[in-house]
Structure 1
Amino acid sequence: MSRSLIIAPQWIGDAVMTEPLLRRLHARGEQLTVGALPWVAPVYRAMPQVAEVIEFPFAHGGLQWRERWHLARQIKGRFDCATICPNSLKSALLPWMAGIPTRIGYLGEARFGLLTQRLSNPPKGQRPPMVAFYSALSGAADVAADRPQLHLSKLDVDTALHALSLTQMGYHVFAPGAEFGEAKRWPATHFAALAEQLNAPVVLLGSGKEAGLCASIADPVNVRRPGHCLNLAGKTTLAQALAVIAACKSIVSNDSGLMHVAAGFGVRQVAIFGSSSPLHTPPLNALATVLWLKTDAAYQPPLDCAPCFERVCPLGHTRCLNDILPTRVSALL
């Protein structure tokens, strides 16, 4: 059995979208170890095909030569092959330093000497959907239909829910945060209005830096409906957040990492897109509904400015998000 090291991407959403690649590698007999930064490692523990997860001791940014050389000495001789998912130069250093014989990845940042098998970078502006982009590293051609699949044991889910005083299928989840700016975030006032329309309680998930955003949704709702919203932003581990999503009635989110987590668990979800595009990073889930005014036949006149991929609306109105009303979302849950 070939022993493979997978170098994981640094973002949660991208990590989820590598799952079909790992499933393909495992199916052809490779024993998989994933090297990941600590904040994405729990995603790979929700992939049954992964035998081991090594948490990298690297900080975000910088080459950190000493740390990489130290880890390379520890893993030297353990692996026959490395698949490097990120395109950065530094992500290819560890497999090269460890002397792993076969090192596969996209050319990326001119990684000629670091990789033994290189895929050409997609032409600028023509990058395929992310699942297909990663799955192509397996060497297979039929990668377009792959869908990420995550799995947690019943014990893991029950343990997390018990610690948070939650009941399986007894709540909805809101994930109102999104990296890269407010033009990707549905308004907090819309989330609050939606929460008041739902019969079941609402659990808000996010990072510590999103605790204030989540509080601006939960607090006014709880004034009118005490205890209806539970703000867990910054109060759970990522592993617990995964369990909360896996056991929810439904989730409403922006284009974010937690959107892809929900898709991986196959839960009912509404994914709201604004400045970004679901043509590139959709939630690959049969129970997902995408709301994006660029292609919404019910929205007239068409919203021609989307996707702008800007952090802040350059036109100052953010209609791509503001015009998606809470009643529209509640009808889908």
Structure 2
Amino acid sequence: MLLSQKDKILVVGPAWVGDMVMAQSLFKTLKAQRPDCEIDVLAPPWSMPLLKRMPEVNQAIVLDVTHGKFGFRTRYRVGRQLRVNKYDQAIILPRSYKAALVPLFAKISVRTGYRGEMRFGVVNNRKRLDHDVLTQTVQRFTALACDDDLEQPPVIHQPTLTIDVANREWFIKDINLKMNKPIIAFMPGAEYGEAKCWPTEYYRQLAEMLVSNGYRIWILGSDKDKEAGVLISDGYEEDVINLCGKTKLEDVIDLLSIVHLAVSNDSGLMHIACAAGAKVVGIYGSSDPAYTPPLSDKAEVMYLNMPCSPCFQRTCQFEHLECLRNIKPIDVFKRIY
């Protein structure tokens, strides 16, 4: 497959926050190989602010299809609209059949992706996914930039998001956040399910330990995490601040760039914290840090590797959640203080 330095590339992005952060490693690899290439990313609406913080991305294009829905008409319409861009190559990160339709409808001649879901003809530059070589999600994304099937994992360029200092300072002033103590960020949510969530009462106990030792806590998350934020912050006026539902995604990126450390479940915000340059303690339960590790030299993983782990389930099938409950607040505190 002959590709030029000035290729126009359309990347069909993933549907999850953490995966989209990891996709930046692919964008960095493409730019290292072909510095003059243009990379556009087709992605869900929520990801637009995140992609704007990736300097490798020329343009983020919205594909407004509900996660899990086929959305044939929308994919056909967007594909026809993109024909004018005359892309040289599409790289399709999701392994579903429907993910490859927009590049097909856009008449992109080279459509690169892994074999899967009977995609013969839809993906015409098909790669074999060697699970023994490519053991991590980020490796699988990055390997799609390579012409040949790999015999060893590719070099990974760690994600690094651009920080908007002006937006950060505006938000701190607007919310009246006090900056006279070192900040620890808590991210107690995980979109995937409760089997990835360290117990809320443990976050509360950890907050008590940290506050008594001179730290301030910012709790970050979406509207879905508001209740957890209330339980963690209850009784504190200014040393434990519940910001769940009060921030936009770009605000979270900027705030995480100045925290002393972030404590997080294995979630999209954990990966954002790493890419924003924060020190991170990532707590893993049902998922596998060998498969989706935090991509930062400043990150530390807490994982018990129990006989039932990783199960990759949304809820604990044994109803004890010991993979997370056996990681005690004092254990996390010792990694911080």
- Taking structure 1 as the reference length, what is the TM-score of the superposition? 0.89
Matches of 2:144 and 2:171, distance apart in 1: 34
What is the aligned partner in structure 1 of residue 250 from structure 2? 239
The answer to whether the aligner puts 1:324 opposite 2:327 as a matched pair is yes
What is the aligned partner in structure 2 of residue 111 from structure 1? 119
What is the aligned partner in structure 1 of residue 187 from structure 2? 175
What is the aligned partner in structure 1 of residue 11 from structure 2? 6
Q: Deviations over 1:262-297 (max 9, x none)?
A: 121231111011121111111021111111112xxx
Matches of 2:106 and 2:120, distance apart in 1: 17
- SS of alignment partner, residue 229 of structure 2: helix
Q: Deviations over 1:117-158 (max 9, x none)?
A: 1112345x9862011010000016451443222222323433
What is the aligned partner in structure 2 of residue 264 from structure 1? 275
Task: Please say if residues 131 and 147 of structure 1, whose CA atoms lie closer than 8 Å, have aligned partners that are also in contact.
Answer: no
Q: Which amino acid aligns with 1:107?
A: R
Identity fraction in percent = 36
Q: Deviations over 1:203-254 (max 9, x none)?
A: 11112122112212111xxx1x422222121221111122122222111001
Q: Which amino acid aligns with 1:192?
A: R
- How far is 1:180 from its partner? 3.1
Greater Cα offset, 261-270 or 166-175: 166-175
Matches of 1:161 and 1:107, distance apart in 2: 47
What is the aligned partner in structure 2 of residue 93 from structure 1? 101
The answer to whether the aligner puts 1:311 opposite 2:326 as a matched pair is no
- How far is 1:46 from its partner? 1.4
What is the aligned partner in structure 2 of residue 196 from structure 1? 208
Task: Please say if residues 135 and 290 of structure 2, whose CA atoms lie closer than 8 Å, have aligned partners that are also in contact.
Answer: no
Matches of 1:95 and 1:22, distance apart in 2: 18
The answer to whether the aligner puts 1:75 opposite 2:82 as a matched pair is yes
- SS of alignment partner, residue 76 of structure 1: helix
- How far is 1:116 from its partner? 2.1
Q: How does 1:144-293 map to 2 (within 5 A)?
A: 144-166=155-177, 170-198=182-210, 199-219=214-234, 223=235, 225-293=236-304
Greater Cα offset, 104-113 or 155-164: 155-164
Matches of 1:101 and 1:164, distance apart in 2: 50
What is the aligned partner in structure 1 of residue 145 from structure 2? 138
Aligned residues: CA RMSD: 2.0
- How far is 1:304 from its partner? 2.5
Task: Please say if residues 205 and 232 of structure 1, whose CA atoms lie closer than 8 Å, have aligned partners that are also in contact.
Answer: yes
Task: Please say if residues 20 and 135 of structure 1, whose CA atoms lie closer than 8 Å, have aligned partners that are also in contact.
Answer: yes
Greater Cα offset, 200-209 or 114-123: 114-123
Residues 33 and 163 (structure 1), Cα distance of their counterparts in 2 relative to 1, 3 Å cut: farther
What is the aligned partner in structure 1 of residue 53 from structure 2? 46
What is the aligned partner in structure 1 of residue 128 from structure 2? 120
- Taking structure 2 as the reference length, what is the TM-score of the superposition? 0.88
Matches of 2:156 and 2:117, distance apart in 1: 28
- How far is 1:173 from its partner? 0.9
- How far is 1:308 from its partner? 2.5
Give 5+ residue unaligned stretches, structure 1. Answer: 295-302
The answer to whether the aligner puts 1:64 opposite 2:79 as a matched pair is no
Matches of 2:237 and 2:164, distance apart in 1: 33
- SS of alignment partner, residue 68 of structure 2: coil
Residues 306 and 95 (structure 1), Cα distance of their counterparts in 2 relative to 1, 3 Å cut: same
* Count of residue pairs the alignment pairs up: 320
Structure 1's consecutive aligned runs of 4 or more residues displaced over 4 angstroms after TM superposition are: 167-170
Matches of 1:113 and 1:57, distance apart in 2: 25
Matches of 1:160 and 1:210, distance apart in 2: 20
- SS of alignment partner, residue 335 of structure 2: coil
- How far is 1:182 from its partner? 2.0
